[in-house]
Chains A and B, each alone.
Chain A
Amino acid sequence: MTINTLAKGGWDREQMACFRKMEKVIVAMQDPDMGMKMRNQRLLITVIPHAMTGRDMIAWLIKKYSICEEEAVHLSGMLVRYGYIYPLKEPRSLVLRPDESPYRFQTPYFWTSTRWPASELDYAIYLAKKNIRKQGELMEYEKERYSLLHKRINHTWDFVVMQAREQLRASKQRRKADRIVLECQEQAYWLINRPPPGAHNVLDMGLERPNNFSARVTLVSDIITFIYIETCRRALGRNRVKSSICLEGFVKYSEQYQNHDPIMQGCLPSNPWISDDTAHWTMSSEIVPTPTRLRVERWSFSFMELLKDIMGMREFMLYLEKEFSAENLCFWQACEDIRHGESSRILEKVEDIYKNFLAPGAARWVNIDSKTMDKTLQGLRHPHRFVMDDAQMHIYFLMKKDSYPRYLKSDLYKNMLAKAIVPQETKKSVFPFMRRQRHSSPSPAQAVIQVTEEDGHAKGAGRAGTNSAAGSHV
C-alpha cells in the first residue's frame, strides 16, 4: 500500500489532536495490566481471538474516567465511528451496541491517522481487489466509484490491477482466521474514509482554515510581531489586581444573581419554554404597570443594571427631576445616542448637545469640571463619534457615586420595591399530557411599522429597546 505524507493545514491540526487523544484511550484499553479483558469470539465456524463486548468497553470506560453510563456509551460510540474499534457482527454498521456484541481493536496500520489522508490510489486497489474476489458483485455505489476512479487515474490502472492481484495472492497464503480479520479491518477503514452515500461522514471537517500568516508572507508576520510587542509593552505597564480579589468578585456576582438565573433557580410563574405559558414574559416586558420584585431588586445591583432597564431609567429620571439634576441623565442619553447612532447625524447631534448642555447659559447646563470641559470644547472643533466620551464618563460617574445611591435610599425606590409583584408559581398541570396552545407574539419588526404608521401611538408589546436618547426613535 502506498503511504501519503501528511498534508499541511488547519484540518490536520484539529483532526490529529483528536486522533491522538482517541489513540491514547485505545492504548490504555489495551494495557496488559489496567486494560480490558479480552476473549475469543466465535464467528460462524471460525474463532476470532482478542475480542471484547460492547458491555465490557462501557464498564471499563466508566471506571477509568469516572463517567456515567450514557457518556461511556457515547464515548465508545465515537471510538467505533472513527474506526478504532470495529464490530464483528454486522461489520458495515459502525455503531456501538451496549450488549454482548463482539468488537475488535483496529490495527494501527489501518488507523485513519496513520495513512492520512486516504489516497485515491489505495481506494482503487481496494475496490479492484473486492471486484476480483466478488467477481464483479460490488455494491452499487462502489461500482460507480470504481468506474469513476478508472477514468480519473487511468494512466496507473495497470499498477492498480497488479497491486490488487498481488495482495490477493499474498492473503490466500494466510490462515483463514487472519484473512477474515484483515478483510474486516480493511473494510472498516474504507467505510470511514470513503463512507457510502447517505452515511454519516465523521471525517467531514467543514471549511478549511489554512491561513497562518507567519508561515506565508514574512512581511505581514513581522507587522503582527511588531504589534504584539507594542501590546506586550502596554500590558506590562498595566495595573493588575490580585487574583484573590478578582476571584472573590465572581463568587459574589454569582451569589447575587443566582435567584435571577432561570436555568438555575427557575422563574416565576413558570419558565415559558417548559410550561408553554408566556406569563413570565408578559410580566417582564419592557413597560408594565407594575414590575416584578426581582426586576426592581436588580436595579440595586449596579448602576448599569438600572440604566439598562427602560423602566429603571424612567424611574431614575423621575427622581432626578425631583432633585433638579435631570439634565445629567439627559446629557448621558444624548451622548449614548451619538456613540451608537448613524455616522451621518453625528455633527447635528453634537451641535444639539452643545446648545442644550454645554454652552454658557444653556437651558440644561451640566456641571463638568473645567479640565474636561476645556478638552471637550476643543474637541468640538473637529467633532467625531467619541468627542463627548470624557464628559459623558464624568457625568456617568457623578450620577453613579452621588445620585444613584441616594435614589436607592429614596422613598420613590422603596415604594417601587414594595408594590412590585411576586408572581405565584404555577403548579405543574394536572393533566401533563395536555399541551397548551403556544401563542405567537407580534414581531418586533411589526411593532415599529405600527409606530411609524400611527403617529404618537404607544409602542407595541415585545418591542426590543435600543438606547434611545430623550425623544428620539430608531
Chain B
Amino acid sequence: FSLCLYLISPLVPEMATQEVQLNETLSHLKTESDTLKTKLEEERAKLHDVELHQVAEKVDGLGQFVMKTRRTLKGHGNKVLCMDWCKDKRRIVSSSQDGKVIVWDAFTTNKEHAVTMPCTWVMACAYAPSGCAVACGGLDNKCSVYPLSLDKNENLAAKKKSVAMHTNYLSACSFTNSDMQILTSSGDGTCALWDVESGQLLQSFHGHAADVLCLDLAPSETGNTFVSGGCDKKANVWDMRSGQCIQSFETHESDINSVRYYPSGDAFASGSDDATCRLYDLRADREVAIYSKESIIFGVSSVDFSLSGRLLFGGYNDYTINVWDVLKGTRVSILFGHENRVSTLRVSPDGTAFCSGSWDHTLRV
C-alpha cells in the first residue's frame, strides 16, 4: 500500500510541490478507475448473446397465484426491522426499533424468548444454525450473540456475548455454516468476519464507498464467498479467505437494500431504492434481468427466492409485496396486507412459506 503512504504525506505543510503532484495522482486514479470500468463493461458485453426472457420463452407461464397470510405475529411495540428463520422451519427471530428481539414459534404464534437490547433500531438479527442462539445488533455498532435458554426465569441478557465491533451501525449479520462464525455488514462501509468464541476479527472487507446495507452467504460447494450491497449502489462479491473483492456490479440507480443468492449459487438478486430488483449472473459476470414496472414507484427493502428459484419475492416501501417470475421477468402477483413499509422478507428453509416483517409492528407468514 505504498500509494497510500504517498497520499498521507501532504499533511506536512511545507511540501507544496508534493501537493500539486498529489492532486495529479488523485485525478490519475480517478481516470484510471473510470477507464477500467468502461473496459470491464465492454468485456462483459462481448459474451452477452441472449436475454433471459428470450431463453425463457419456451418455459410455461405461471398461472395465477393465490397467496394468503397464514399467520400474523403481533407483539412488537414498534417497527419490525429484521427477521430470520430457524433451521427447524417454523421458528423465527425478529428485531425491532424499540430494541426488542423476539423468538417466535411462528406455527403456533407463541413467543418463546424475548430480549431487550440496550439500544434502539436493532436492524440485524440472525438465527444460529444449531437453533440454540441468536445474533443481533444495530445502533450499538455491535453484534451480540444470545444463547437461548429454556429456563423462563433466566435473563437472556445476562449470557450475552459481544462479538463484533464496528465504528457505525450494524446493518446485517449472518452466521456462516456453523455457530462459530458471524459475518457482519455496517454503516461504516465495511463487512467483517468474526470468531464467536473469542470475538476476534478474522477478516475485514473494504471496498464499499458508503454504508453497506445487506449481505448474503453463497450456497456454493466451496462455500467461500458472499455478496454485499450498499449505499454506493454497488453489489460486491467477496472471497472470505483473502478479504478481496472478486466481482463488483454497479447498475442500480440508488441504494441497494437487499441481496440474496439464487439457490444454485450461480447468481444473486438485489433490491434497491430505485424500485427495481435485478438479477446478476456470476459466471457471465453481468446483470441479466431487471424486475420493474411503471406502476411500482417505491423502493424495494428486501428480496428472497422461492426454493426452486423460479419466484422472487420483493418487499416494498409502499407496503406491498410483489412476486416476480424470475425467468420471464414478469410480475406474477401483488400482495397487500401490511399497513406500513415491508422492511424484511425471508422464505422459510424448506420453502413452504415466507415471512414478511413491517413497520406496522407485525410479521406475517
Chain A residues proximal to chain B, CB less than 8 Å: 10, 13-14, 17-18, 21-22, 25, 61, 65, 67-68, 70-71, 74-75, 78, 200, 204, 206-207, 209, 211-214, 218-219, 221-236, 238, 240-251, 253-258, 260-264, 267, 271-274, 278, 280-281, 284, 303-304, 336, 339-344, 385-386, 389, 393, 396, 438-441, 443-449, 462-467, 474
- The reply to whether the CB of B158 lies closer than 8 angstroms to some CB of chain A is no
Known: A70-B336, A211-B231, A273-B71. A386 touches B254 (CB 8 A): no
Mind listing 10 A-B residue pairs with CB under 8 Å?
A227-B207, A228-B207, A243-B286, A260-B351, A262-B353, A281-B90, A340-B176, A343-B202, A443-B105, A443-B150
Q: Closest chain B residue to A462 by CB distance? A: B88
1/0 per residue B268-309: CB within 8 Å of A? 000001110000010111101000011101110000001111
Contact yes or no, A207 B169, CB < 8 A: yes
What residues on A are CB-neighbors of B232 within 8 Å?
212
- The reply to whether the CB of B44 lies closer than 8 angstroms to some CB of chain A is yes
What residues on A are CB-neighbors of B149 within 8 Å?
445
- The reply to whether the CB of B161 lies closer than 8 angstroms to some CB of chain A is no
Contact yes or no, A262 B307, CB < 8 A: yes
Contact yes or no, B47 A240, CB < 8 A: yes
What residues on B are CB-neighbors of A230 within 8 Å?
244-245
Which secondary structure dominates chain B's binding surface?
loop
Interface residue tally on B, bucketed by range: 35 or more
What residues on A are CB-neighbors of B91 within 8 Å?
443-444
A213–B281 Cα gap in the complex (Å)?
28
Contact yes or no, B209 A221, CB < 8 A: yes
A444–B112 Cα gap in the complex (Å)?
12
A263's partner among B36, B248, B307 (CB-CB below 8 A) is: B307
Q: Closest chain B residue to A261 by CB distance? A: B308
Q: Closest chain B residue to A307 by CB distance? A: B221
Q: Closest chain A residue to B313 by CB distance? A: A263
What residues on B are CB-neighbors of A448 within 8 Å?
130-132
A396–B297 Cα gap in the complex (Å)?
47
A227–B327 Cα gap in the complex (Å)?
34
Contact yes or no, A445 B255, CB < 8 A: no
Q: Closest chain B residue to A449 by CB distance? A: B150
Contact yes or no, A235 B110, CB < 8 A: no
Chain B nearest CB, measured from A169 CB (Å)? 40
What residues on A are CB-neighbors of B44 within 8 Å?
240
Interface core residue of A211, A230, A443 (most chain B CB under 10 Å): A211
Contact yes or no, B295 A264, CB < 8 A: no
Contact yes or no, B353 A271, CB < 8 A: yes
Contact yes or no, B206 A304, CB < 8 A: no
Known: A247-B281, A466-B177. A261 touches B334 (CB 8 A): no
Contact yes or no, B131 A250, CB < 8 A: no
- For window 194-227 of B, CB contacts with A under 8 Å fall at 195-198, 200, 202, 206-211, 213, 219-222
What residues on B are CB-neighbors of A242 within 8 Å?
47, 49, 284
Contact yes or no, B281 A232, CB < 8 A: no
A147–B95 Cα gap in the complex (Å)?
37
Contact yes or no, A65 B293, CB < 8 A: yes
Contact yes or no, A213 B189, CB < 8 A: yes
Q: Closest chain A residue to B196 by CB distance? A: A342
A256–B307 Cα gap in the complex (Å)?
11
Contact yes or no, A343 B195, CB < 8 A: yes
Known: A212-B231, A213-B189, A223-B4. A229 touches B29 (CB 8 A): yes
Known: A221-B209, A228-B248, A340-B180. A253 touches B255 (CB 8 A): no
Contact yes or no, A284 B309, CB < 8 A: no
Chain B nearest CB, measured from A348 CB (Å)? 14
A-B pairs, top 8 by smallest CB distance, nearest first, are A444-B131, A464-B87, A257-B308, A261-B308, A340-B178, A232-B36, A65-B295, A464-B131
1/0 per residue B48-75: CB within 8 Å of A? 1111100110110010000100110000
- The reply to whether the CB of B229 lies closer than 8 angstroms to some CB of chain A is no
Contact yes or no, A263 B327, CB < 8 A: no
Contact yes or no, A257 B307, CB < 8 A: yes
Chain B nearest CB, measured from A237 CB (Å)? 10
A207–B81 Cα gap in the complex (Å)?
11
